[in-house]
Chain A
Amino acid sequence: MTKEFKRPDGRKVDELRPMTAKVGVVPNADGSAMFSFGDTIAIAAVYGPKKMHPQHKQNPEKGTLRCNYNMISFSVNDRIRPGQSRRSMEISEITKWALEPVLMIDNYPNMVVDVHINILQANASTRCAGINAAAIALAHAGISMKNMVSSVSIGKLDKQLVVDVDKKEEDWEEGEGATDIPITMTGDDKITHLQLDGKIVTKQLKEAIELARKSCKEIYEVQKKALKESLSEGEK
């Protein structure tokens, strides 16, 4: 069955779209990066750590991570009205949860680290691309981290599991339709973020998680390469 399944863009079921990553795309920021899956392009900039203002928001026990995810108005066909939406606010929070477990945030009492993520162009999996860019940007900003995180969306199209869902697949209607499962994992295979919309039996969901683990390894390599190459080029 695996061999017969045809994805709209001709990819193999476990094939990610071509990925690119670049460090230092926002010179003003303390750390920044771009990450793309095919036509989905995210940029992330990190400012901080810096003292949290106002003072009453300071936490003397540990630092605070703030994430701000947004899609630019012309990243999709139907223009998005500029500013925060309910969706972008939720994804901002999800992104924070996906990143926070690897950040050694205890090292930054009373401080805040701001992560700004903007989706420049969208063809599904934008939150995953955003998280991947943010992880690179945080490392670039010199923040202490136990590990990197990598994020991918696993899809179930009818009965078939696929990796790195694009827009056409997200709108899959045949058979059982589409189930979208974005997952984020640390470099040592721990899950920091998991969402699911659709229908799937637990046995297959376990397979989906295993598939995500393998894909995250590929994404990790792209993130690592971008970081290593940026230093040898003598950036910033």
Chain B
Amino acid sequence: MTKDNQRKIVIPGEVIVKGDNYLPGEGTEKKGEEIVSIKYGLSEEQNRLIKVIPLSGVYQPRRGNVVIGKVGNITFNGWVIDISAPESAFLSLMEVPKYVNKDGLDEVMDFGDMVIAKIWSINKRGIDLSIKSRGLGKIDEGIIVKINPNKVPRVIGKEGSMVKLIKDETKCNITIGQNGLIWIRGDKIDDELFAKKAILFVTEKSYISGLTEEVKKWFEKEKK
């Protein structure tokens, strides 16, 4: 693979590279001597490992992801949380950082409530969530914005630089769920909507290079 086509858009079935020197990574498979894409997305090479990063489609849960979800059901020992993924996740009352009376689950979180949680296990039975770490738990106020989950890395930016820029410019608290749900909380609704607008700008321009500069310019223009 030459430098020019290091990142290129590929479609399912498309041959990305030929030759025995490469290893098939995520989103690809090896077919004889060829490495073929099984996804629509951007192909990338790192140390001879070829992978395809999907840029559209439903969120695929991974262990360790912080996600934002909605309480869809309450059972005798926890909450069923919709995390905009192919299947719902489960938050056990054992994974709540305080004692919860089994009769009082709805007092902690009720139907329709939003929650920030971490995926601590994915197995055959399903996806298990926890809210035991800092920054996790029920959301009381603010707005929820839904974006294409594949664009989450762009909104976060390198080492969180993009989201920091948006936080600083809008004076809002922002928590980004890997599942594409974003929680924005500011002093005024106007601030929250301004942050929402900035985030949507990033998702629309997510393919241009020098995005951070572009967003800075956008803020200058918007603030006039």
Contacts and interface: CB of A to CB of B under 8 A. Distances in A.
Direct contact, A vs B (beta carbon within 8 Å): yes
B11 interface: yes
B11 to A, nearest CB: 5
A33 to B, nearest CB: 11
Nearest to B207: A234
A168 B209 CA distance: 50
A48 B88 CA distance: 13
Nearest to A225: B11
A119 B31 CA distance: 36
Given A141-B57, A142-B39, A234 B205 contact: yes
B86 interface: yes
Given A48-B86, A146-B38, A234 B11 contact: no
A139 B87 contact: no
Contacts of B54: 142
B40 A142 contact: yes
Interface string A139-154: 1111111111000000
Interface in B3-30: 9, 11-14, 27, 29
B55 interface: yes
A110 interface: yes
A48 B84 CA distance: 10
B12 A148 contact: yes
How many chain A residues sit at the interface, stated as a range, is: 20 to 34
Contacts of A110: 87
Contacts of B65: none
A188 interface: yes
A104 B207 contact: no
A12 to B, nearest CB: 28
A49 B29 CA distance: 21
Contacts of A102: 12-13
Contacts of A144: 12, 27, 38-39
Given A51-B88, A142-B40, A228-B11, 5 more contacts: A49-B58, A51-B86, A104-B38, A111-B87, A140-B57
Q: Which 8 A-B pairs have the closest CB atoms?
A: A142-B57, A147-B13, A145-B12, A139-B40, A187-B13, A142-B54, A51-B87, A234-B207
Interface of B: 9, 11-14, 27, 29, 36, 38-42, 54-58, 86-88, 148, 150, 204-208
